[in-house]
Structure 1
Amino acid sequence: MFDQDKDTGGLQGKVILITGGTSGLGAQCVLRLALNNASHIYFTGRNTKKGSAIIKETHDAGCTTPLTFVECDLTKLASVKAAADKILSEQHRLDLLMANAGVMNQPPGLTADGYEVQFGTNFLSHALLIQKFLPLMDKTAELPGSDVRIVQLTSTGFRGAPSGGIRFDDLKTVQNFRVLGGMMRYGQSKLAAVLYAQELARRHPNIISVSVTPGIVSTELVSKQNAFHRSTIWLSAKITQGRIYSPKEAPASQLWCAVGPRNEIKQGAFYEPVGILSKITTKYTQDEDLAWRLWDWTQSELKQWLD
């Protein structure tokens, strides 16, 4: 049984990046990993004051790991690129990239770059970060004793993705579906994370790439929903996992993927809490052609930010 308070060691010399590290699960991951002597931990967010508060909290807990908050707005690809460039200018290795940040069930809207807001925030901005760091992570994977990983947070909500799985032709619209539109758009973005993890594993076999759900957790993603969606989420939690997880216990799932035994992790897999190879699939999560198309579409959309 994985104990997130005791089994997150072995980080000496490693450089780590966690998105959305100023609150919720991301902040919990920063706090736990910081106590295990990594070489450097970077974490992103939009609120500098919250970033400073996290650093103070870790220092007050006796942490000596260097921590750096990097301002990054995932609704703006220029901000994502700037954050990546800052870290790349400072580091000669990257051992762990945890794509943790995300939004859920947002009203119809677009990112600053004109993409459906949940797809742009949850998937495309993280894809840009991953692509910016892949050359460095590939080099890190060649170092003796290295263990390089990319962990993407997803959700079993991918089952709610619209017909076709990913609606490429209208990703630059608000995709105002008539019924349960917010959750369909959310499901689409989380399906993309699952497929992208699979494709990364195929194309970069020296880097462990997985997707993982933390389960249903009592974070702001839930508390900010309207009464109908909150009750639906709570009922789903009771049926599927017996209860809703707290923000302090839920990080175990993604931490296991980040630091658990490498020989126990299946490349490209989707994991449930904790360290359970999920049997939850849809026809889209098993569609290799869709994964290839997503990869090609993403490369094309991000080309101007990678040159």
Structure 2
Amino acid sequence: MSGPFHAESTTDEVLAGVDLSGKRVLVTGVSAGLGVETARSLAAHGAQVVGAVRDLAKAKQATAHVAAEAANGGGLELIELDLASLASVRACADALMADGRPIDVVIANAGVMATPLSRTADGFEMQFGTNHLGHFVLVNRIAGLIPEGGRLVNVSSAGHRFSDVDLDDPNFEHTEYEPWAGYGRSKTANILFAVEFDRRCRSRGVRAAALHPGGIQTELARHIDGKAIEERINQINAQLAAEGRPPFRFKTIPQGAATSVWAGFVADADEVGGRYCENCHVSDFTDMPTSAMSEGVRPYALDPERAKALWAKSEEMVGEKF
């Protein structure tokens, strides 16, 4: 059953009655926020979770409670992964392939947001390189471990509505850099990657979806000034009030991670495959401004031809064919 769930549903509500014993799940970014909660909820329902993290010491401390809450054979192991370094990404993928155990679901959760202009170890713009290209290489290198019935879940954002990908200048080498534009490009890329991965893999019973977790207060906002966030929320609330709608409320972390576990384990594969989800349901197209905090996905983010073009550009950038 895929519902009824909504914006305030939590991970435990979504997974109520679901036995994940025997399932193995790779979750990136299991050192804070949504990643930790995703790992906790899955292990508590019997899954063996592999948490891929940049800082192993930080992750061990942040996930100390996961083992205590694990049940039905569930548990958590950690593996090192720096998505801003393709050498690290490839080493992580090689270790997983050498281990050889199936990975039923990959939840590509890690990411950065609105960073100052900077470059990854390989020279990519930081947000596009980390949020998209790092996951693109990791997932494709381990795709053979995902069995029939498996899924890829890409954590994107309503921020995809800020901007489409720019396949002519993905690294802002000729375009003036703006942090939110960079974030929007990377989050659109997360969706387009899921669209093309789903097209390529559905014939063998593997599906992919992307999602917006909602507005949550986590470490993701560490590059954003607190006053700027407050001003942004005031603007949103003024717009919502003008529309006769209630004010914006942040989700709790368990509410924010709910759509990830819903898309990975509860929703029907044909319902979410190649789609964009939020609030534990599949979203419709929209042309509403992002600041309105309304639901919906931009048509360019689900464009299959755009998805194919991004895949080809990504292969060119990372120097690998998949």
Name the TM-score class by shorter chain.
0.7 to 0.9
CA contact under 8 A between 1:108 and 1:176: conserved in structure 2?
A: no
Whole-angstrom distance in 2 between the partners of 1:6 and 1:156: 23
Alignment equivalent of 1:46, drawn from 41, 46, 54: 54
Provide closer, same or farther for how the CA distance between residues 195 and 235 of structure 1 changes in structure 2, counting only shifts above 3 A. Answer: farther
* Displacement after TM superposition at 1:287 (Å): 3.1
CA contact under 8 A between 2:84 and 2:120: conserved in structure 1?
A: yes
Provide closer, same or farther for how the CA distance between residues 236 and 216 of structure 1 changes in structure 2, counting only shifts above 3 A. Answer: farther
Alignment equivalent of 1:282, drawn from 298, 305, 309: 298
* Displacement after TM superposition at 1:232 (Å): 4.7
Paired residue secondary structure (2:272): coil
Paired residue secondary structure (1:222): helix
Whole-angstrom distance in 2 between the partners of 1:62 and 1:257: 21
* Displacement after TM superposition at 1:284 (Å): 1.9
Tell me which stretches of 4 or more aligned residues in structure 1 moved more than 6 Å. none
* Displacement after TM superposition at 1:247 (Å): 1.7
Whole-angstrom distance in 2 between the partners of 1:236 and 1:212: 24
Paired residue secondary structure (1:150): strand
Whole-angstrom distance in 2 between the partners of 1:160 and 1:41: 33
Whole-angstrom distance in 2 between the partners of 1:260 and 1:236: 35
CA contact under 8 A between 2:28 and 2:109: conserved in structure 1?
A: yes
Q: Residue 215 of structure 2 corresponds to which residue in structure 1?
A: 216
Q: Residue 12 of structure 2 corresponds to which residue in structure 1?
A: 5
Alignment of 1:122-137 (within 5 A): 122-137=131-146
Tell me the alpha carbon deviations over residues 106-159 of structure 1, each in whole angstroms, 9 at most, x when there is no partner: 11111110101100010000111110111222xx11xxxxx3110001111111
Alignment of 1:224-303 (within 5 A): 224-235=223-234, 238=237, 239=240, 242-262=248-268, 265-279=271-285, 280-303=296-319
Provide closer, same or farther for how the CA distance between residues 19 and 51 of structure 1 changes in structure 2, counting only shifts above 3 A. Answer: same
Tell me the alpha carbon deviations over residues 153-207 of structure 1, each in whole angstroms, 9 at most, x when there is no partner: 111111111xxx22223224466626xx100000000011111111111111121
Q: Residue 160 of structure 1 corresponds to which residue in structure 2?
A: 162
- Say which structure, 1 or 2, has more relative contact order (CA 8 Å, 6+ apart): 2
* Displacement after TM superposition at 1:233 (Å): 4.4
Whole-angstrom distance in 2 between the partners of 1:193 and 1:133: 17
Q: Alignment length, in residue pairs? A: 293
Q: Normalising by the residue count of structure 1, what TM-score does the alignment of the two structures yield?
A: 0.87
Whole-angstrom distance in 2 between the partners of 1:182 and 1:118: 9
Whole-angstrom distance in 2 between the partners of 1:213 and 1:6: 18
Segment of structure 1 superposing worse, 222-231 or 9-18 = 222-231
Provide closer, same or farther for how the CA distance between residues 116 and 263 of structure 1 changes in structure 2, counting only shifts above 3 A. Answer: closer
- 1:196 is the counterpart of 2:193: yes
Alignment of 1:8-157 (within 5 A): 8=15, 9-38=18-47, 40-63=48-71, 64-137=73-146, 140-141=147-148, 147-157=149-159
Read off the aligned partner of 2:83 and give its amino acid letter: L
Whole-angstrom distance in 1 between the partners of 2:174 and 2:65: 40
Read off the aligned partner of 2:188 and give its amino acid letter: L
Provide closer, same or farther for how the CA distance between residues 74 and 7 of structure 1 changes in structure 2, counting only shifts above 3 A. Answer: same
* Displacement after TM superposition at 1:251 (Å): 0.7
Q: Residue 144 of structure 1 corresponds to which residue in structure 2?
A: none
Whole-angstrom distance in 1 between the partners of 2:28 and 2:230: 28
Read off the aligned partner of 1:123 and give its amino acid letter: H
Tell me the alpha carbon deviations over residues 211-268 of structure 1, each in whole angstroms, 9 at most, x when there is no partner: 0001111112235411453125434765487311122321111111111132573310
Q: Normalising by the residue count of structure 2, what TM-score does the alignment of the two structures yield?
A: 0.83
Read off the aligned partner of 1:154 and give its amino acid letter: S
CA contact under 8 A between 2:43 and 2:69: conserved in structure 1?
A: no
Unaligned runs of 5+ in 1: 142-146
Unaligned runs of 5+ in 2: 286-295
Paired residue secondary structure (1:43): strand
Read off the aligned partner of 1:159 and give its amino acid letter: R
Whole-angstrom distance in 2 between the partners of 1:305 and 1:198: 17
Read off the aligned partner of 1:5 and give its amino acid letter: D
Provide closer, same or farther for how the CA distance between residues 231 and 115 of structure 1 changes in structure 2, counting only shifts above 3 A. Answer: same
Whole-angstrom distance in 1 between the partners of 2:235 and 2:259: 19
* Displacement after TM superposition at 1:291 (Å): 1.4
% identity of equivalent residues: 28
Paired residue secondary structure (1:11): coil
Paired residue secondary structure (1:170): coil
Whole-angstrom distance in 1 between the partners of 2:166 and 2:282: 30
